[in-house]
């Protein structure tokens, strides 16, 4: 498990604390981690491709809906699996298959949201999302419907999901489906809703512009923001791979 509490402000050479021999999987959040203002830069995509070519596996762990990701990012098939809707949906891009990991909101909950005028409101297959200013109305709707749902914060928004569903549960389902290990995973995220899945990873990291509360809990804080921070981590992993291959012991 990640040694939370040893992160903090970014320092030069922070990524040198990585051990490439222990990382077989990279699991990344989307917004604020891989993407800036909803878009993944070409340089980040290039780095993801290089990492995949090294034989490692790629996971995305995000609050976004699959339909949005498919529309936004044409290189989604780089990822072996996508944990979407903050842990409620598992998507395999190569097969274009989605699996619901929880039950959708009940008609009573949908009716309560409308009655209490929770707007704007985004409804996924399972996730309910609205700006943080509506948190009290969202909570009231859940209570009125008698739903066993809970609210999770994500910077300027709040999400509602069935109790017991979060990024860590979706991450665990993805690992099980692919036969992978959390101990061999480098997890990267930037917001409150990432903390549960980062805690499950063998190594955890955050970009330089992540929330202070997240940076305080991860193993590594990169020197660069969002996707550039992910590139920084990938470059270090591949550098170590090269050094190992060049060593006499490797021959």
User: Per-residue pLDDT averaged across 120-145, rounded?
Assistant: 98
Check whether residue 90 and residue 30 sit in a common domain.
yes
Residue 45 pLDDT > 50, yes or no? yes
Residue 221 lies in a domain: yes
Range of the domain at 146: 107-162
Residue 224's closest CA among 251, 173, 190?
A: 190
The CATH number of the domain holding residue 203 is: 3.40.50.1000
Check whether residue 178 and residue 82 sit in a common domain.
yes
Check whether residue 118 and residue 169 sit in a common domain.
no
Residue 187 pLDDT > 70, yes or no? yes
% residues pLDDT > 90 (the chain): 88
103 half-sphere exposure, CB direction, 13 A CA radius: 9
User: Per-residue pLDDT averaged across 56-68, rounded?
Assistant: 98
Check whether residue 115 and residue 91 sit in a common domain.
no
Residue 250 lies in a domain: no
Check whether residue 97 and residue 192 sit in a common domain.
yes
C-beta separation of 141 from 116 below 8 A = yes
Total domains, the chain? 2
| Alpha carbon distance 200, 192 (integer Å) | 14
Tokens 């399972």 correspond to 126
Check whether residue 117 and residue 226 sit in a common domain.
no
Check whether residue 188 and residue 85 sit in a common domain.
yes
Q: Among the three residues 115, 141, 162, which one is the final residue of a domain in this structure?
A: 162
Residue 209 lies in a domain: yes
Check whether residue 191 and residue 125 sit in a common domain.
no
pLDDT-derived band of residue 4, with 50, 70 and 90 as boundaries? very low
Q: Among the three residues 147, 162, 177, which one is the final residue of a domain in this structure?
A: 162
Residue 10 lies in a domain: no
pLDDT score at 251: 45
Residue 238 lies in a domain: yes
Give the number of other CB atoms < 10 A from CB of residue 61.
Answer: 30
Check whether residue 175 and residue 241 sit in a common domain.
yes
Running DSSP on this structure, what letter comes out for residue 221? E
pLDDT-derived band of residue 248, with 50, 70 and 90 as boundaries? low
pLDDT score at 75: 98
Q: Among the three residues 137, 162, 187, which one is the final residue of a domain in this structure?
A: 162
User: Per-residue pLDDT averaged across 44-60, rounded?
Assistant: 98
| Alpha carbon distance 153, 155 (integer Å) | 6
| Residues linked to residue 150 through DSSP beta bridges, in sequence order | 161
Residue 251 lies in a domain: no
Residue 49 pLDDT > 60, yes or no? yes
Residue 15 pLDDT > 90, yes or no? no
pLDDT score at 247: 57
């Amino acid at each position: 498990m990640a040694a939370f509490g040893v992160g903090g402000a970014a320092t030069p050479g922070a990524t040198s604390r990585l051990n490439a021999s222990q990382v077989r999987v990279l699991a990344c959040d989307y917004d604020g981690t891989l993407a800036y203002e909803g878009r993944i830069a070409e340089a980040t995509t290039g780095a993801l491709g290089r990492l995949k070519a090294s034989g490692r596996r790629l996971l995305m762990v995000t609050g976004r809906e699959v339909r949005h990701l498919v529309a936004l990012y044409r290189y989604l098939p780089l990822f072996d699996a996508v944990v979407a809707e903050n842990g409620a949906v598992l998507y395999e891009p190569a097969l274009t298959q989605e699996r619901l990991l929880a039950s959708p909101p009940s008609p009573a909950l949908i009716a309560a949201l409308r009655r209490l005028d929770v707007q704007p409101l985004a409804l996924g297959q399972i996730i309910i999302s609205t700006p943080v200013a509506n948190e009290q109305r969202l909570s009231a709707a859940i209570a009125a419907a008698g739903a066993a749902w809970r609210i999770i914060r994500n910077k300027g928004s709040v999400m509602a999901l069935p109790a017991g569903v979060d990024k860590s549960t979706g991450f665990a389902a993805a690992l099980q489906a692919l036969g992978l290990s959390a101990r061999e995973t480098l997890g990267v995220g930037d917001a409150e809703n990432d903390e549960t899945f980062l805690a499950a990873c063998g190594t955890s990291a955050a970009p330089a512009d992540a929330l202070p509360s997240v940076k305080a809990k991860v193993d590594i804080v990169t020197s660069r923001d969002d996707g550039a921070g992910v590139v920084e981590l990938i470059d270090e992993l591949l550098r170590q791979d090269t050094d190992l291959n060049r060593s006499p012991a490797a021959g």
